Structure 1
Amino acid sequence: GRDENKQVYWENLEKSILRGYQSQAKQLAMQVARLEFMMKTLIQQTEVNFNQSFQSWSGYFNQNLNDLFISRVPRIVSDQVNLVISEQTQEVKNLVIQ
């Protein structure tokens, strides 16, 4: 009987150890799944935030570019042109005066 008892004891021990491993594996799998879900959610949120800030930034950038080309550049160009014209006019006057 003692050998049988030993056999049963070891088998039971083995079963309980396996059960422990199985439940640990299940817990681990659940933790991994939870972590994966959190990461996915986080990544999606990050993408949404990035898209929002990128859109507002590019809108701001476009506005600045438009402002630059519609008002500032023509103003600078016309200032330069006027400067050149007035300088040439002055030169012509000087020539005439001489």
Structure 2
Amino acid sequence: MRRKSNGLDKKLEKAARNINVSEQQLEQLSNLANKYKYKSQREIEEEMINMINTFSKKEKRDLIKRLQMLKRMTDLLDDSQTKKIDKFIKLLSR
């Protein structure tokens, strides 16, 4: 099943230019998205928790800042994606 992008590629490209993302970072993001494409919400949350437990306090703070910056790009995210970012921020804040 092919999903409609609704201009998502153009939005991502615009956002990437605004935050100076390299081609390599965009490729890594694409690979990461493909890795999790067929995983359930529960599987993703479990992996997130395991990953978060390996972060230092500074790494958590830095990631929270980046997620908050992403969240402010309202034209890039829909409500569901914003809620997921909020949940990830909550997990990082523990």
Instruction: Report the TM-score, using the length of structure 1 for normalisation.
Output: 0.20
**Larger RCO of the pair (alpha carbons < 8 Å, separation 6+):** 2
Structure holding more helix per residue: 1
Instruction: Report the TM-score, using the length of structure 2 for normalisation.
Output: 0.21
Larger Rg belongs to: 1
